Amino acid sequence: MKRALAAIGAIAIVLVALGGCAAPRAKKPVLYLYPERVVSLGVGLSYDGVVSDSYPVAVGGVGADGRALASWSVTAGPDGVLRDGGGRAYPYLFWEGPTRADLSQGSGFVVARDDVVGFLEEKLALLGLDEREAADFITYWAPRMRVNEYTLVSFDSGAYRDAARYTFTADDGSVVEPDTFIRVFMTISAASASAVVPEQELVPAPARTGFTAVEWGGAEL
């Protein structure tokens, strides 16, 4: 009981701290897992912010460093289908919530409304998403971008990755490291046709080999 009350108190402190500023919200980060064979995995998330929603519902908590904790136990196979302990199937793990990470846009791309889909198809392929993952991304983010006549788009260069850290463990508790981990996080904000920003240089994703994990998500400023 004392531990539960302490955890609730810690979560409340984090919420108050984030509520005092306009914290950006990581929207719909989703995690796909493609091991080489069917395996049981524990997936842990340490997040510099608050995990407000998740599906399947994660076991939550707060670490000693004040970071939000979330964990899932799933069985994963090469086809990417994830199953929980009850056998229910999921295409990916989902979570979201506000963060303290600095997601300011020092460089990026100004994208016109009519160019959104083509822009995303091109950049997501470069950054390593396959067609199914890109379709999931585009059907979520394209409508949000097309609200604006022009949108400033930046892709994460490290701030989000530092804010959201994953761990993977086997049944025996040993750490499992993905052979390939592709992470795509996009930040968007309304812009004008006259907006001038340095064009962001994007690094192509590595080829997928072995156990591959893929994550995408984003934020609106």
* Structural domain contains residue 16: no
* Structural domain contains residue 5: no
User: What pLDDT shows up at residue 22?
Assistant: 63
* Structural domain contains residue 122: yes
Q: What is the pLDDT of residues 68-127, one digit of tens each?
A: 999 999 999 999 999 999 999 999 999 999 999 999 999 999 999 999 999 999 999 999
Q: Which residues contact 218 (CB under 8 A, 6 or more apart)?
A: 26, 27, 28, 141, 185, 186, 187, 188
Asked whether residue 21 carries a pLDDT value surpassing 90, the answer given is: no
Structural domain harbouring 63: 25-204+213-220
Domain count, the chain: 1
* Structural domain contains residue 160: yes
pTM reported for the whole predicted model: 0.89
Q: What is the pLDDT of residues 39-76, one digit of tens each?
A: 999 999 999 999 999 999 999 999 999 999 999 999 99
* Structural domain contains residue 94: yes
* Structural domain contains residue 17: no
User: What pLDDT shows up at residue 7?
Assistant: 41
Q: What is the pLDDT of residues 139-161, one digit of tens each?
A: 999 999 999 999 999 999 899 99
User: What pLDDT shows up at residue 3?
Assistant: 41
Closest CA to 135 of 149, 146, 125, 144: 125
User: What pLDDT shows up at residue 79?
Assistant: 98
* Structural domain contains residue 193: yes
User: Using 50, 70 and 90 to split pLDDT, how confident is the model at 23?
Assistant: confident
How is residue 132 written in tokens? 């199914």
13-17, 164-168, 206-210: least confident range? 13-17
* Structural domain contains residue 166: yes
Mean of pLDDT values over 19-47: 90
